[in-house]
Amino acid sequence: MQTITAGISAELSECSYPIHVGSGILSRANLILPHLIQKKVAIVSNTTVAPLYLDKLIATLESHKIISVPIILPDGEKYKNWQTLNQIFDALLTNQCERSTTIISLGGGVIGDLAGFAAATYMRGVPFIQIPTTLLAQVDSSIGGKTGINHTLGKNMIGAFYQPRMILADSTTLDTLPKREFNSGIAEIIKYGLIRDHAFFDWLEKNMTKLVARDHDVLDEAIERSCKNKVEVVAADEREHGVRALLNLGHTFGHAIENAMGYGVWLHGEAVAAGTMLAAKLSQRMHLIESAEVERIQRIFLQAELPTIVPKLDAKKYLHLMERDKKVEGGKIRFVLLKSIGEATVCSNVPIEILTETLEDSPVNA
């Protein structure tokens, strides 16, 4: 097992917290107990994950006399809304959960976002622990304190920055993950190589076949190196005023794809992969990156069995959707572009003609 310590920039943070990564660590109560204030926790999970891992977690805690209040939600991005959040509040209040009751999320990104936002806002903030059970959540969404829900007019529009006290990433929970969902998580792993870690990108090119086959040694190393990258970026910029924006490589296009196709039709990582290819092509048109590097990027996504072409939509439709993004400032869309593999930059001055050309020239799904 590897433990990474995530520290947030001093002026904002309450504390630093550990991220434990390893195989079979879900049953190690000694990792959880030091972070509980009272002998009661609320575990937020969903109807897919709960049957697989909830009993194990409850038993682990029970053997140390910790009482669990399970809160089981329906599974899916479409439930990341007010109604589901209120289900959590109802259960917390009905079960007399207090300010010192810890909320534990057990599930993927949606569960982490919902449980984290509930923890941020129940009684104005209660302790929170993340136990991510998808690759995407383990390498990306569980780290950094972003929590929230969707609004009918936009994704993640309502939320809070709220740091967990601990993250426990047990890679054996990925064994039960459907192939498409597993591969979707790889998109975010590749992202770290692209925006700031050339050596990691090289390593991923060499090890992608094993990673896709879920070789446990390769998988654990990929998770650890991803977590370290994410932790470093977030530590430097908790509230996304600067360098953290680079983590959104491919996401402005990606969110537009998810929104246009209806949430859940394209998985997040799939949309990010295709969105990243579009960002790479835009970077090439802006004379920032060489075509040979764009081809390397395309190859690694194909190795990871991820889509590299965006769905067919009118360029105007993409533009309209992207203007709704949270990252818009003063009416200008900010794009993350690549200067090379391992180096990214934010650009809010992409000429509209180059943007439209890139959108219209991209090969499209028929």
Active site amino acids = 124, 146, 188, 230, 240, 244, 248, 251, 255, 268
Which of 20, 35, 80, 146 contacts a second copy by CB under 8 A? Answer: 146
Which of 3, 5, 12, 361 contacts a second copy by CB under 8 A? Answer: 12
Bridge partners of 161, per DSSP, are: 146
DSSP for 151-218, written as a single string:
ETTEEEEEEEE---SEEEEEGGGGGGS-HHHHHHHHHHHHHHHHHH-HHHHHHHHHHHHHHHTT-HHH
Q: Which amino acid is at 199?
A: A
Q: Which residue, 121 or 172, has its beta carbon nearer to a second copy?
A: 121
**Considering the complex, what minimum distance in angstroms separates the CB of residue 60 from a second copy?**
23
Q: Which residue, 25 or 120, has its beta carbon nearer to a second copy?
A: 120
Is there a contact between 224 and 21 (Cβ–Cβ < 8 Å)? yes
Q: What residues numbered 235-254 form the site for a second copy, per CB under 8 A?
A: 239
CA 96-163-112 angle, to 5 degrees, is 70
Is residue 148 part of the contact set for a second copy (CB under 8 A)? Answer: yes
**Considering the complex, what minimum distance in angstroms separates the CB of residue 157 from a second copy?**
6
Helix (H) or strand (E) holding 353, with range, is helix 352-361
* Site map (CB under 8 A) of a second copy, residues 198-237, x = contact: ----------------------------------------
Nearest to 172 by CA among 72, 257, 71, 56: 56
- State the number of CA atoms in the 13 A half-sphere of 157 facing the CB: 12
* Site map (CB under 8 A) of a second copy, residues 326-355, x = contact: xxxxx-------------------------
Is residue 100 part of the contact set for a second copy (CB under 8 A)? Answer: yes
Is residue 263 part of the contact set for a second copy (CB under 8 A)? Answer: no
**Considering the complex, what minimum distance in angstroms separates the CB of residue 90 from a second copy?**
8
Tell me the CA distances in angstroms from 113 to 93, 145, 197, 234, 260, one per residue in order.
Answer: 20, 9, 27, 17, 22
Q: CA–CA separation, 339 vs 11, rounded Å? A: 31
Is residue 314 part of the contact set for a second copy (CB under 8 A)? Answer: no
As given in the structure block, the two tokens for residue 59 are 């038993």
- DSSP code of 141? I
**Considering the complex, what minimum distance in angstroms separates the CB of residue 335 from a second copy?**
16
Is residue 90 part of the contact set for a second copy (CB under 8 A)? Answer: yes
Q: What residues numbered 109-128 form the site for a second copy, per CB under 8 A?
A: 120-125
Q: CA–CA separation, 134 vs 185, rounded Å? A: 8
**Considering the complex, what minimum distance in angstroms separates the CB of residue 253 from a second copy?**
19
**Considering the complex, what minimum distance in angstroms separates the CB of residue 105 from a second copy?**
17
Is residue 158 part of the contact set for a second copy (CB under 8 A)? Answer: yes
Is there a contact between 101 and 129 (Cβ–Cβ < 8 Å)? no
**101 three-state secondary structure:** coil
Residues contributing to the site for a second copy (CB under 8 A)? 11-12, 14, 38, 82, 86, 89-90, 93-94, 96, 98-100, 120-125, 146, 148, 151, 153-154, 156-161, 239, 324, 326-330
